[in-house]
Structure formats: C-alpha cells, structure tokens
C-alpha cells in the first residue's frame, strides 16, 4: 500500500506483523469471492474445505472442529446439511456452491465479511435466495458486511449505506435509500439512468439506453481535478483544475462534487 | 412492433421444432441416468428481429444455444435455418452454417488466446477462410473495430490489456467479421457493469439496424431482455413455458416461472425490508 491506514478494532492493519494478520484473515475479517467454482477445490469434499478454515485458525480439537463444521452447515443448509457436506463442488448447484463459500467465510464467526460480487454469476431467483441468507446471518451473528457489486438495484432493501467509487475515489457515500432514490453525484446519476427499467413500454421501437459519454476513448485519467470531469455532463471550469472535496448534504450523506459546494 | 413478422411472405430465418437434447449422467451407483436438458422446444425467429430466452440456471438455455450453433447434436427434433433442415447436414455443410450463426459468451476473456494481439484474434476467422489478401483483411478489421467503438490503434493490444467492455466489443467484432446472419448472445452482458451494459446494448441495437442482424439473446436479466427483444420466451426445465411480446410477458405473466423471475428482479426503488437504525 502506498499510503493510508486501515484501522480494525483500533489497530492499524497496514503496520501489523504478518503473524498478527494471519490471525485476522479469515477469522475476524473474511472474504467471499465471485466465482465459487474457481474458489473451491474440485476434488475435496466441501465439508472438508469448510473444516480446514477452522483448523487453520486452531479453533480446537478434532471433535470440536467436526462439531463446528456441522453447525455451520446446519445454519446454511438445514436438513440437507449432511448430504451437502459430503458432496464435491461439481455435484452442487451454483447457489449451493455460493453457500459453501459463505460457510467458509462465517465458520470462524468473523466480525466483518467482505463479499466481492457474491451473486454476479447467479440467476435472479438464486440471487434473492443468497441475499436472504446474508440478511439472516447479519441478524443472527451481528455481522458487519461490505458488499461489493456492480448492480446497484441489488442493494435496495439490503444495504444500510452505499459508497460509490469512481476511478479509485469515493464520489458519494450515504444511506442506501437516499443514494438509490435520489443520487447526487453526476456519476451515480448517470450510472442509475443506464439501467433499463422493467416498467418501460416496448411499443415505440428499440430505444437507446442513456450511457455515460466517452468511455473507451479516454486515454488516461486526468492528472488533476475531478476524475469524472472528462465524462461529466455537468462539468464546470473549476472541475478541471481543482480536486473536489467532500460536501456534506446532511449528517450522513456526503458527495464529492463542486456542484453542491455553495448550497 | 416488428413489421417483418406481419408480412406473410417473409419466411423465418430459423425454425426450431420439438427439439430434444438428452445427456447421460452416471449416478453414484454407476447406472446411467437420463437428463433431458431440452424437452421439446419449438420457436421461430424472423430475419432482423431479436428473440430473448430467459430462465433460471439449468433451464436449458445454454444447451439450446449450443444446439443452434451446431456445436451439440440434438437427440431429436428439427432445426430449419434459411428453410433448410440442418440436422441432416454433413460436417462440410455444417461448417457453412456455423459461419452464419455466431456465438458470443459471457466472459470473452476465456474465448481469446491470451497471447494473441487484438488484430490476430479478430482476423483469425477471415484468415481461415483464406480468400482475402492480408491487406484486405487488415482494412476490414480496422473498419469493424471502429464500428464496434474500439480505436483502430488498439489492434496491437493483448486481451489482458482491455477492459471488460472492450473485450465484449472485440468478441462482437470477431463474431461479425465473417458477416453472419445471426448472433447468439449467451449471457453476453451479465459480467459487465450497468453503464457498460447499456453501451453494448446500444451497440447491438445499432448493429441490428445497420446490418439487419437476427439475434437470439439468452439472459436471466428480465429488464434487459424486455429492452432488447421483440419477443421473449421463458424457459423452465427444458421447455418454453411462455412466449410473447415483452409488454405482455412483463405485465400479464401467465406462467408461475415468469412471475417468480419478475418478482426476483431487483429494483432501485423497492422499499427497504427494514429501516436502517440510527
């Protein structure tokens, strides 16, 4: 990391010893990846794969490990848990494999789970099912979650707060409902406009979806000023020369844009 | 909406009749088990129109794509392309059909040779045909790159150096370079973020207008299907359970599967299940 700090429970993770980090990774902070078929070992029973996470963190004796493993499977699969634990990844559906990754992530009862596009490869019905699993786990384990996604609509009714990143910078951060229903940053607004609506009518021939201007023809990011300036429909002179700071719209909603500076 | 469909003189470009594809699977005890991936699928697509196939995972959408692209042989049924029965074709004739039906996948990165430059990737199908000079091939490739919204100067890049959206544009360009009649897009937009999805969707609409392409758009995104397609077919367990104009499918869904799919579509403005505390 070039600079900055990551504080977890008051301790800076970036200056922490590798040994200390080893104890945090997967135990206090765990990660769920997008593609479960790649993240899982193809020739090892999934029960064993979850058990190894516990074993790596020296959770307890062999009996204890077995007990904790089946407890986690119980949470995620209910009655089917024993059969699933004995299966290999290829015998499971996409949704079930995603649940195995979740099982690995929550096995050590972490305080934060980072989920990177956990539902991107799933169909909508299964997507909903996995979101429901997350919601239930959050309630029962008081889990904090960072849910990384490129489909903002998934977040409605699920996230508490939404942070919008553009080109490596935070452009907007606020309560989910506010950000989704009345986004403030021009990038967030343009992004949401490009999603086709289910209730549009389809009689008038094929329309173009609104896109964000000029994507591939920008050679590199601007060196100074707002990163979104070259594509922004509402750019002003100042955007080119100066970095926008954060403007607080209310106690919890901030946006990085000059348009809101003098309001 | 689609004028060609009303015209009785126009024949469908592709007609599928009672298509069945069975796979064999070995169970744990070693006995063979039948899996009916396609269980009597029938539909037709008219030239220049788009049919969207939606359905949950495992409903047979991709098997259908493979059968239509002549990459899998159906167990029974009929596929008529340009009014000719293609299932009776020999390998040589099939090669001609494959040329006219191009397939685009969800993650194009897997379908590119990672060590080839954009130009090589793009021109391989043309070079294989071998009836154009190198210079002609290069010119055609450059024109096509521009048309799909990539700069001609990009022809020396490697797939890894392209963004997801650019890779998908390249995949579309490669599919178009041998001037197919029909494109099959199997979840071709699913891996892209929504602003890039919109760009590629617009590109498809524009290409369809300028080239009269016929598209089969396979997806589990109901909103995008409704946006792009003239007609939507909903698949479940290897069968088409409902088919019709996007408005009809969205507003008066008949089949339970369709209603389930629609209910699961996330919306920006759906009310939060619970108000966040604080």
Question: Model ipTM?
Answer: 0.73
B36: buried, middle or exposed (CB in 10 Å: 19+, 13-18, 0-12)?
Answer: middle
Q: With CA atoms as reference, report the closest residue to B269 among A209, A176, A173.
A: A176
DSSP-assigned letter for residue A14: T
| A-to-B residue pairs, Cβ atoms closer than 8 angstroms | 140
A245: number of Cβ within 10 Å: 10
pLDDT value at residue B161: 87
Handedness of CA B186, B191, B194, B200 (dihedral sign): negative
- Within 8 A of A219 by CB-CB distance, chain B residues are none
- Whether residue B239 is contained in a domain is answered as yes
Of A156, A194, A205, the CB nearest to B269: A156
Q: With CA atoms as reference, report the closest residue to A102 among A73, A80, A141.
A: A73
- Within 8 A of B212 by CB-CB distance, chain A residues are none
What total of structural domains would you count in chain B?
A: 1
- Within 8 A of A198 by CB-CB distance, chain B residues are 222-223, 226, 250, 262, 265, 267
> Could you tell me the two tokens for B110?
């897997």
- The reply to whether residue B223 touches residue A124, judged by beta carbons under 8 angstroms, is no
For tokens 């343009």, the residue is: A190
DSSP-assigned letter for residue B271: P
- The reply to whether residue B227 touches residue A153, judged by beta carbons under 8 angstroms, is no
At residue B102, the 3 state secondary structure works out as strand
Per-residue pLDDT of chain B (278 residues; tens, 9 = 90+): 444 455 557 889 999 999 999 988 766 666 777 888 899 999 999 999 999 999 887 788 888 998 998 888 899 999 999 989 998 888 888 888 888 999 998 777 778 888 999 999 999 888 887 788 888 899 989 988 988 888 888 888 998 888 888 888 899 999 998 889 999 999 888 878 888 888 889 989 988 989 899 999 999 888 899 999 999 999 999 999 999 999 999 999 999 989 988 888 877 766 444 444 43
| E strands in chain A | 7-8, 11-12, 29-32, 112-116, 144-148, 161-166, 169-175, 247-248, 254-255
Radius of gyration over alpha carbons of chain A, in Å?
22
- Whether residue B276 is contained in a domain is answered as no
> Could you tell me the two tokens for A61?
């004796």
B101 pairs with which residues across the strands? B182
Q: With CA atoms as reference, report the closest residue to B57 among A126, A119, A42.
A: A126
> Could you tell me the two tokens for A238?
């100042």
Q: Whole-angstrom Cα distance, residue B43 to residue A65? A: 54
- Within 8 A of A216 by CB-CB distance, chain B residues are 149-151, 163, 165-166, 169
- Within 8 A of A151 by CB-CB distance, chain B residues are 193-194, 266
Per-residue pLDDT of chain A (263 residues; tens, 9 = 90+): 778 999 998 889 988 899 899 889 888 999 998 777 788 999 999 999 999 999 998 888 999 999 999 999 998 898 889 999 999 998 888 888 999 999 999 999 999 999 998 888 788 888 888 899 999 999 898 899 999 998 888 888 889 999 999 888 899 999 999 999 999 999 999 989 888 887 776 665 667 788 887 654 455 666 688 888 888 888 888 988 888 989 999 989 999 999 988 76
> Could you tell me the two tokens for B135?
């210079």
CA B51 to chain CA mean position, Å: 9
Q: Whole-angstrom Cα distance, residue A209 to residue A196? A: 7
At residue A253, the 3 state secondary structure works out as coil
Distance from CA of A164 to the nearest CA of B (A): 13
> Could you tell me the two tokens for A194?
């490009």
**Over the range A169-183, which residues count as b (16 or more CB within 10 Å of their CB) and which as e?**
eebbbbbbbbbbeeb
CB-hemisphere CA count at 13 Å for A14?
A: 7
Chain A residue with Cα closest to B209: A206
pLDDT value at residue B9: 72
CATH topology of domain A20-149: Rossmann fold (3.40.50)
Q: Name the strand (E) or helix (H) holding B243.
A: strand B239-244
The CA distances from residue A243 to A236, B61, B181, B186, in Å, are: 12, 48, 50, 42
Residue numbers of the domain that contains B188 = 3-263
CA A202 to chain CA mean position, Å: 33
> Could you tell me the two tokens for B160?
């890894």
Of A150, A175, A200, the CB nearest to B194: A150
Query: Is B19 in contact with B40 (CB distance < 8 Å)?
Result: yes
Give the residue extent of every domain in chain A: 20-149, 162-195+212-260
At residue A234, the 3 state secondary structure works out as coil
pLDDT value at residue B272: 46
- Whether residue B268 is contained in a domain is answered as no
- The reply to whether residue A128 touches residue B1, judged by beta carbons under 8 angstroms, is no
Q: What φ, ψ does residue B116 adopt, rounded to 5°?
A: -95, 150
CATH code assigned at B42: 3.40.50.300
| E strands in B112-194 | 182-186
CA B38 to chain CA mean position, Å: 17
> Is the entire prediction scored with pTM above 0.90?
no
Q: Whole-angstrom Cα distance, residue B147 to residue B204? A: 11
Q: Whole-angstrom Cα distance, residue B239 to residue B223? A: 21
Q: Whole-angstrom Cα distance, residue B235 to residue B37? A: 11
Query: Is A163 in contact with A181 (CB distance < 8 Å)?
Result: no
pLDDT value at residue B221: 86
B35 pairs with which residues across the strands? B23
Helices B164-176, B134-147: axis angle to 10 degrees equals 130
């Amino acid at each position: 990391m070039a600079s900055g700090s990551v504080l977890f429970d008051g301790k800076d993770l970036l200056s922490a010893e590798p040994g200390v980090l080893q104890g945090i990774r997967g135990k206090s902070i765990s990660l769920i990846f997008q593609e479960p078929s790649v993240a899982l070992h193809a020739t090892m029973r999934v029960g064993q794969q979850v058990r190894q996470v516990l074993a790596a963190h020296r959770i307890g004796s062999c009996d204890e490990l077995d007990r904790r493993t089946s407890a986690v499977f119980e949470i995620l699969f209910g009655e089917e848990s024993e059969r699933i634990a004995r299966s290999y990844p290829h015998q499971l559906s996409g949704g079930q494999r995603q649940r195995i990754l979740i099982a690995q992530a929550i096995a050590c009862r972490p305080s934060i789970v980072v989920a990177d596009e956990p539902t991107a490869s799933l169909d909508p019905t299964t997507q909903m099912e996995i979101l429901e699993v997350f919601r239930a786990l959050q309630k029962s384990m008081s889990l904090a979650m960072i849910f990384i996604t490129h489909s903002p609509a998934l977040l409605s009714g699920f996230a508490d707060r939404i942070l919008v990143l553009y080109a490596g910078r935070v452009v907007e951060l606020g309560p989910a409902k506010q950000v989704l229903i009345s986004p403030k940053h021009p990038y967030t607004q343009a992004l949401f406009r490009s999603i086709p609506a289910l209730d549009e009518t389809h009689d008038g021939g094929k329309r173009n979806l609104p896109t964000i201007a000029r994507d591939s023809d920008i050679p590199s990011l601007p060196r100074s000023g707002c990163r979104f300036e070259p594509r922004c429909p509402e750019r002003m002179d100042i955007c080119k020369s100066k970095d926008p700071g954060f403007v607080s719209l209310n106690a919890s909603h901030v946006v990085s844009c000059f348009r809101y500076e003098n309001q | 909406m689609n004028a060609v469909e009303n015209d009785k003189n126009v024949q469908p470009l592709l007609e599928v009749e009672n298509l069945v594809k069975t796979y064999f699977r070995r169970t744990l005890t070693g006995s063979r088990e039948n899996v009916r991936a396609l269980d009597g699928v029938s539909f037709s697509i008219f030239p220049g129109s788009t049919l969207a196939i939606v359905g949950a995972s495992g409903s047979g959408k991709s098997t259908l794509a493979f059968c239509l692209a002549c990459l899998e042989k159906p167990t029974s049924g009929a596929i008529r392309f340009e009014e000719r029965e293609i299932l009776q074709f020999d390998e040589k004739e099939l090669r001609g059909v494959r040329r006219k039906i191009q397939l685009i996948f969800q993650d194009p990165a897997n379908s590119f040779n990672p060590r080839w430059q954009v130009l090589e990737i793009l021109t391989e199908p043309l070079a294989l045909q071998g009836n154009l000079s190198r210079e002609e091939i290069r010119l055609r490739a450059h024109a096509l790159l521009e048309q799909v919204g990539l700069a001609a100067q990009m022809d020396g890049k490697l797939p890894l150096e392209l963004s997801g959206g650019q890779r998908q544009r390249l995949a579309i360009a490669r599919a178009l370079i041998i001037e197919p009649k029909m494109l099959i897009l199997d979840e071709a937009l699913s891996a892209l973020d929504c602003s890039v999805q919109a760009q590629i969707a617009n590109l498809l609409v524009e290409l369809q207008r300028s080239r009269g392409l016929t598209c089969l758009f396979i997806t589990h995104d109901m909103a995008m299907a409704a946006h792009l397609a003239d007609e939507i077919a909903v698949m479940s367990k290897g069968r088409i359970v409902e088919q019709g104009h996007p408005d009809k499918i969205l507003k008066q869904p008949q089949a339970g599967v369709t209603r389930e799919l629609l209910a699961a579509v996330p919306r920006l403005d759906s009310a939060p299940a619970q108000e966040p505390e604080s």
